[in-house]
Structure formats: C-alpha cells, structure tokens
Amino acid sequence: GGLVLACCSSCDGFLLRHGLDFNSEHLPSIALAPKDYDIRHRVGSSRSCRLLVAFSPSSSSTFLDSAVSAKDLELQSQQLVESLLQKISQAGTDGTKIPQNQREDINQIVEQIENLMANDTKSSTLNMTTVPLDGTHELLYTDTPNTPQYIGPIKGRTTQKFINETTFQNILQAGPLQIKLTAERTIMDDSRIKLFFKGFDVIIFGAKVLQKKIDAKGVWKMVFVGEVENKYDISKTKPKESKILLRVMKTPNLYILAKYL
C-alpha cells in the first residue's frame, strides 16, 4: 500500500513518476524532478513578437548591419512563433496524448526557430538567459513520452514559480495533492542554464506529508525567450487575447512555458 514516488530512467529535469509497483516499466509521470535522481519513498495510503535582442556594434557599419540583422531575425521569428502557438492551440492539450503528426509539426517549428537563432552569427547576440523571470509560468506543451500533468487518471496542472532570481519551484497541482520541486539556477552562457535540484515536498489538503532533500544537477538549453501578443487559445485558465512571456527550452526534452503579462 501507499504511494511510490520514483524518477524514471528517461527523466530530464521535469518528470517524477508514481505507481503502486516501483519496478513497473510503465509508471505514469506526475511532476518535475531531476534526471539522475532516483526517488524511492513511500508516503501514507502571435500577431506580433518582440525578441529580447542585444548587440554591441564595434563600428557604425557593424551597427547598421546588426540592426538589419536583428530586424530580419525578429520578422522571421514572429512568423515561426505565431505558427508554434497556433499548433499548440490546435493540439488542445499540453502535448500529452496527441497524435504523432501534431507532435512532429510542433517539433519541426521549434527546430526551425533553433536553427534561425543559431544562424544569427553576423553581429547580433541573442541573450536568452538574463531575461528577468518572476511570478508563475504555465506549462503549455512538452514532447516527453511521459505525462507530467497526470496522477494516474487525474489530470493536474503544472507550473513553474520563481521565488527570486535564482530559486524556483516546479509545481504539480492535482485536486488536493500538490508536489513541489525546488531548484536553483545559474547562468552558463547566452543560451544555457545550469540547475541544482534541492528537494521536493508533497502536500495534501494543505498539509506537508513529505519533505525530501535532493542533490542533483541538470542543464536547460533555451531555444526562444520573448514577449508575444498571443491570439490563440493555448491555456485553459487564461484569456485567449493576451500578452505572454514565452519560453521554449530543451531539457533535453522540449518544454514550452508562458507567463501571462
């Protein structure tokens, strides 16, 4: 009896799995946890898109080239990001239980965005890791084969809450059950962030029933970070017409999150 929490072999910094049989190869995912941490504990029974771009020209000519490059990058990324939000809206879910062709469409657009950023080598530097992050960010989509929003048949809601500039919590809320994974982040470069996972809490009806320390690390690669005027129905709790801070990242699995501004 009781609930068995375990990190599956394919975890990537977001997934925590549960089941009554720890040795099962097909336990459902329920929350956010580090890739290499093995938890074994029983508890009781866009119409427009603005990229955040910065560049340092070394001459007036370089400055002009940089400005043109940044503008071209903005226009191309605007089209791709709008297509991405449209595909997420059409999927109608966070990426769980969708047809493979829809998943491939979304992944293809993300690859195009990633290639666009990688090819911007003339003069502009896209810095996606120093953008200020605060408040609560909602998980819009993931391509992981596991399901971070479910506890068995019960669908939950996964969010990322920033406590301060370095500390955040990945949170799964499903009815009276809440699971919080606390981590700290440090900047590695313009596109990568290193994570240090500290511990997780299990809360039921507001009462903490489990607190466990974790010593694990991970790396997230930013694909896109920018403010977007969204016109698609991508959230079950927020209005369709809204401005969001969109974050697309690989952990290495794909995760897309948004903060409503």
Per residue in 138-158, pLDDT (tens digit) is 999 988 766 556 666 677 788
Check pLDDT > 70 for residue 217: yes
Stretch 46-72: mean pLDDT, rounded?
A: 41
Q: What pLDDT sits at residue 76?
A: 86
Dist CA 133 CA 245 (whole Å): 9
Q: What pLDDT sits at residue 150?
A: 65
Stretch 50-64: mean pLDDT, rounded?
A: 35
Check pLDDT > 70 for residue 232: yes
Check pLDDT > 90 for residue 260: yes
Q: What pLDDT sits at residue 159?
A: 93
Give the pLDDT confidence of 201-214 residue by residue, as tens digits.
999 999 999 999 99
Alpha helices in the chain (DSSP H): 60-91, 100-118
More confident residue, 97 or 207: 207
Check pLDDT > 60 for residue 13: no
More confident residue, 57 or 166: 166
Q: What pLDDT sits at residue 116?
A: 87
- Two tokens, residue 174: 């499903």
Q: How far is CA 20 from CA 208, 210, 253, in A?
A: 21, 17, 26
Cα of 154 vs its chain's centroid, Å:
21
Check pLDDT > 90 for residue 5: no
The answer to whether the CB of 220 falls within 8 A of the CB of 254 is: no
Q: Strand 48-51 relative to strand 135-142: parallel, antiparallel, unpaired?
A: unpaired
Give the pLDDT confidence of 99-123 residue by residue, as tens digits.
889 999 999 999 999 998 877 654 3
Q: What pLDDT sits at residue 194?
A: 96
Check pLDDT > 50 for residue 251: yes
Dist CA 150 CA 213 (whole Å): 23
Check pLDDT > 80 for residue 223: yes
Q: What pLDDT sits at residue 152?
A: 65
Average pLDDT for the chain: 74
Dist CA 196 CA 183 (whole Å): 5
Check pLDDT > 60 for residue 43: no
What is the share, in percent, of the chain residues with pLDDT greater than 90? 45
